[in-house]
Amino acid sequence: MNFYQDRREPHPIVGEYIQKLENMASQEGFQLVYVLTPCDIKQEDMELTNWVMDHCYQNGYDFLNLMGADNVAGIDYQKDMADLDHLNYKGAMKATRALGSFVETLCHFPGMEENKDSERISTDAK
């Protein structure tokens, strides 16, 4: 996927909102994760993605690349895409599971036996 190596900084307004999101995450005490979901990626998009990946690496943010060579989500581009830029329901479920697994490796979540709301959560899930 990294056939384009150049970097393109986002538009200043986008950069401003990235900074706002990062500041809010820091102030509220939550960990920010950047995610690239499968799409038709053109040169300009890849250059922006390269900038974001560098930005994440330099600033200590996690980056989950669901278009990476290892295909952690198991996306089948023929069956899991609604169109060139959007996952269909099945693809979205695969991407969501991959994101959930990724977040699980970053954070400790108490098991159901440790959660006082486990009965309500189970009921809601059903």
Domain that holds residue 22: 12-106
Task: Report the CATH number at residue 54.
Answer: 3.40.50.12700
Look at the chain and report how many structural domains it folds into.
Answer: 1
Give a yes or no: residue 117 inside a domain.
Answer: no
Q: State the average pLDDT over residues 87-96.
A: 95
Cα of first residue to Cα of last residue in the chain, in angstroms, is: 39
Contact 6, 52 (CB under 8 A): no
Is the pLDDT at 110 greater than 90? The verdict is: no
The pLDDT value recorded for residue 83 is 92
Residue 84 covered by a domain: yes
Instruction: Specify whether the backbone of 41 is left (phi greater than 0), alpha (psi in -120 to 50) or beta.
Output: beta
User: What average pLDDT does the chain have?
Assistant: 89
Flag whether pLDDT at 14 surpasses 60. yes
On the 0-12 / 13-18 / 19+ scale of CB atoms within 10 A, 73 is buried
Q: Where is pLDDT greater, at 116 or 89? A: 89
28 in any annotated domain:
yes
- pLDDT tens for each residue of 21-64: 999 999 999 999 999 999 888 899 999 999 999 999 999 999 99
